[in-house]
Structures are given as structure tokens and as C-alpha cells.
Amino acid sequence: MRYLKLLIGIVLIMMAGCAGGELLPSTLKKCPDGSNYLDTEQLSLSNVEINHLTAMLFRNECGSKYENLISWNKGEDFVSLGIGHFIWYPQGKEGPFQETFPALLNYLKNRRIQLPAWLSTMKKIDAPWNSRKEFLTRYNDNKVTLLRNFLIKTMNYQALFIIERLNNSLPKILCATTPKLRSQIRNKFYTIANSPNGLYSLIDYVNFKGEGVSEKERYRGQGWGLLQVLEEMQLVRAGKTAIFEFSKAAEKVLIRRIRNSPKQRREGRWLKGWKKRIYSYTTEK
């Protein structure tokens, strides 16, 4: 996968400063609380890169099997859909994890992608199955078949949606951390982005475990998203060392999540697969 050469002018301004040690006003953006953060760059990929990313996400989340584009894991209150295993809650259900499938549907509709008829006529976008048991009993229904075929046809669009999510994540991450740490977090983000497998690592992790900014996505007050990984990792120079540092930090954050999680969730059963996934960041080409 060919990774992009990002523009680093703003980063250099941030590191070197301008006259008087102040940042140029045009480079600053406002957080909801009125504090400032340095503006961010938009990341984009070529068609070849998007195809490759789609295949890797499909492998990571679905084992490269079409039947796994729709699944409901034991112990979960939601169905997982697509190459990003986008979360979809039934009506009246709400959990600690961010629901992402309705946002994907809006993204596709805005791009004039035709939805399956039963989806396009829903007044409220809630999962039509109230439990895993109900989902499994209706697994071979026409509704599920149409949805799976739709997910197969739109896999590249799902990857584009995930890229857009990453682009939107950095401002949220910067505003969610303290002002004195923002330049460091931003530096780490772009250090990873400019490293081999860097864009894949960032895109996959933010899709895998979120931005880390939601107060709901916490166990014992500690999150497990991209923000927490960037906080944990050491700032090193771009390159293979940076990706190893990112993967090591991700492992520590995920182990901490398991340690903090409710015992009845038995999250330790997922650690082996999680480690395999984050170590793919250091081995993919």
C-alpha cells in the first residue's frame, strides 16, 4: 500500500513558532469550549489504496467471509454489520459503544446509493431484531439476504466512510484532551500517518475501537480509543519504530480495558484476536 506524503508545513510552524512564539491565527481552530487547537490536514487515498484498505478491513473484521458481514456476537446487545462491523442497536437498547450503522446509511444516502427497500422505508433506523436469539432464528430471511448483498456491493463505500471518520476524529481528539497536550497528540498522529502502514493503522484502529472521546466508552473512567493510544505511546521519529510504538501502546490500552471491564463480559477471550490485529500494523505491506 502506497502511503501519502502529508503536508507538514503547519506542523513545522507549530514546532518552530513564529515571531514572538505565537501561532499564525489562520492555523487555529476553536473547540466547543472556546479553547484553540492547531488546524488539521485531510487524509485521502488513491483508488488502489482504497481497494487494499477495503480488503484488509474485510479480513480484520469478517475473516474475509461474506457471511460475516452480518453477525451478532454472544454477550452483545447489538448486531455488527459490514467491513467495519458497524454497530446497530434494536429499538430501546443503548450501550456503552457508539452506534455507527445509522451514520453509515446516511453517508450512503447522501451519495445517492440505493438502500434495500425495507431499509429505505423505515421511519426510525433501529435494528429489526430485538435480541441475538431472534436474529439467529431469522438469519435466513429475505431481509437479511438483501442486507448482506447490499453490504457486499458497498464495501468500498464503507471504507470511504471509515476514512472520513478518521478525518473527523483528530479535531475531536484534540478538543477532548488538555490544551497543553494537544500539540503532542497532534505530532504523534501525523508521525504515525507518515510511517509505513501508518494510515492503515490509524484508520483501522479508529474503526476498531473508536476515537476514545465518548464518556460512555469508559470502564472505571478509562477509555480505549485512539486518543488513549496516542496518550500512551512515546513520541518517536516517523518510520517502523513509530508503528511498533503505536502497536505496543495499543496493546497496553486494550489489556487495561480488559482489566477494567465487568467480569460478566469476559473480554479476555478477545485479547488474542485483538493482539493479532494490532500487530498486523507492523507487518502489512
> Residue 239 carries which DSSP code?
S
Question: Per-residue pLDDT for 26 more than 60?
Answer: no
**Predicted local distance difference test score (pLDDT) of residue 181:** 94
Question: Per-residue pLDDT for 218 more than 50?
Answer: yes
Q: State the Cα torsion 257-273-56-207 to the nearest 10°.
A: -20
The mean pLDDT of 117-124, rounded to a whole number, is 88
pTM (2 d.p.):
0.78
The grid coordinates of residue 199 equal 494510515
**Rounded Cα distance, 90 and 141, in Å:** 17
Please identify which residue in the block is written with the cell numbers 494490532.
278
**Rounded Cα distance, 62 and 92, in Å:** 27
Q: What percentage of the chain has pLDDT greater than the value 90? A: 69
140-149, pLDDT tens digit by residue? 999 999 999 9
Question: Per-residue pLDDT for 24 more than 80?
Answer: no
93-112, pLDDT tens digit by residue? 887 788 999 999 999 999 99
Question: Per-residue pLDDT for 21 more than 80?
Answer: no
| Total length of the chain | 285
The grid coordinates of residue 227 equal 486518543
Better pLDDT: 15 or 195: 195
> Residue 173 carries which DSSP code?
H
**Predicted local distance difference test score (pLDDT) of residue 20:** 33
**Predicted local distance difference test score (pLDDT) of residue 212:** 95
**Predicted local distance difference test score (pLDDT) of residue 285:** 57
**Predicted local distance difference test score (pLDDT) of residue 263:** 92
Query: What residues are paired with 71 via a beta bridge?
Result: 80
126-171, pLDDT tens digit by residue? 999 999 999 999 999 999 999 999 999 999 999 999 999 888 999 9
274-284, pLDDT tens digit by residue? 999 999 999 86
Extents of the domains making up the chain:
9-46+167-282, 60-156
Strand, helix or coil for residue 61: helix
Yes or no: say if 257 and 215 are a contact pair by the CB < 8 Å rule: no
Helices (H) and strands (E) in the chain, counts: 12, 5
Question: Per-residue pLDDT for 63 more than 80?
Answer: yes
> Residue 197 carries which DSSP code?
T
Question: Per-residue pLDDT for 5 more than 50?
Answer: no
Question: Per-residue pLDDT for 14 more than 50?
Answer: no
Strand, helix or coil for residue 5: coil
Question: Per-residue pLDDT for 2 more than 70?
Answer: no
**Predicted local distance difference test score (pLDDT) of residue 82:** 96
Could you give the angle at which helices 240-260 and 198-209 cross, rounded to 10 degrees? 10
When pLDDT is cut at 50, 70 and 90, the band that residue 92 belongs to is confident
Q: What is the mean pLDDT of the chain?
A: 87
Cα 96 to Cα 35, 158, 176, 216, 259, distances in angstroms: 28, 23, 18, 5, 16
**Rounded Cα distance, 203 and 212, in Å:** 14
Strand, helix or coil for residue 79: strand
Task: Identify the helix (H) or strand (E) that includes residue 89.
Answer: none
Better pLDDT: 26 or 188: 188
Question: Per-residue pLDDT for 252 more than 90?
Answer: yes
**Predicted local distance difference test score (pLDDT) of residue 25:** 41
**Predicted local distance difference test score (pLDDT) of residue 123:** 82
